[in-house]
Amino acid sequence: MYLNRVLLLVLALLYVCSPAIEVWISAAPSAWYRPQLVWLGLILIVALSMHRDTQRGN
Protein backbone atom coordinates (compact mmCIF):
# COMPACT_ATOMS: atom_id res chain seq x y z
CA MET A 1 0.00 0.00 0.00
CA TYR A 2 1.44 3.32 -1.07
CA LEU A 3 0.23 6.41 0.76
CA ASN A 4 1.01 9.75 -0.80
CA ARG A 5 3.40 11.72 1.43
CA VAL A 6 1.45 14.95 1.07
CA LEU A 7 -1.77 13.17 2.05
CA LEU A 8 -0.02 11.63 5.03
CA LEU A 9 1.30 15.03 6.11
CA VAL A 10 -2.15 16.64 5.80
CA LEU A 11 -3.72 13.84 7.83
CA ALA A 12 -1.08 14.19 10.53
CA LEU A 13 -1.63 17.95 10.72
CA LEU A 14 -5.39 17.50 10.89
CA TYR A 15 -4.97 14.93 13.66
CA VAL A 16 -2.80 17.29 15.68
CA CYS A 17 -5.12 20.25 15.09
CA SER A 18 -8.36 18.31 15.44
CA PRO A 19 -9.35 19.68 18.88
CA ALA A 20 -9.00 23.27 17.66
CA ILE A 21 -10.80 22.46 14.42
CA GLU A 22 -13.66 20.79 16.28
CA VAL A 23 -14.07 23.78 18.61
CA TRP A 24 -14.06 26.09 15.60
CA ILE A 25 -16.66 24.02 13.74
CA SER A 26 -18.96 23.61 16.71
CA ALA A 27 -18.65 27.23 17.92
CA ALA A 28 -21.58 28.41 15.84
CA PRO A 29 -25.02 27.21 16.89
CA SER A 30 -25.51 24.24 14.60
CA ALA A 31 -26.40 20.58 14.54
CA TRP A 32 -24.45 18.28 16.87
CA TYR A 33 -23.29 16.08 13.98
CA ARG A 34 -21.58 18.87 12.02
CA PRO A 35 -18.02 17.99 13.14
CA GLN A 36 -18.60 14.35 12.30
CA LEU A 37 -19.68 15.31 8.77
CA VAL A 38 -16.35 17.04 8.24
CA TRP A 39 -14.42 13.95 9.34
CA LEU A 40 -16.68 11.70 7.25
CA GLY A 41 -15.88 13.85 4.22
CA LEU A 42 -12.17 13.52 4.91
CA ILE A 43 -12.46 9.75 5.22
CA LEU A 44 -14.38 9.56 1.93
CA ILE A 45 -11.77 11.65 0.14
CA VAL A 46 -8.97 9.39 1.37
CA ALA A 47 -10.94 6.25 0.49
CA LEU A 48 -11.61 7.49 -3.04
CA SER A 49 -7.96 8.43 -3.46
CA MET A 50 -6.80 5.01 -2.33
CA HIS A 51 -9.42 3.28 -4.51
CA ARG A 52 -8.21 5.13 -7.62
CA ASP A 53 -4.62 4.14 -6.86
CA THR A 54 -5.55 0.46 -6.64
CA GLN A 55 -7.42 0.64 -9.95
CA ARG A 56 -4.35 2.08 -11.66
CA GLY A 57 -2.24 -0.78 -10.35
CA ASN A 58 0.03 1.33 -8.14
Q: Encode pLDDT of 29-40 as tens digits.
A: 767 777 788 789
Element (H, E) at 30: none
Q: Looking at the predicted structure, is the pLDDT value of residue 58 above 70?
A: no
Name the pTM for this structure. 0.49
What sign for the dihedral angle of Cα 33, 39, 40, 45?
positive
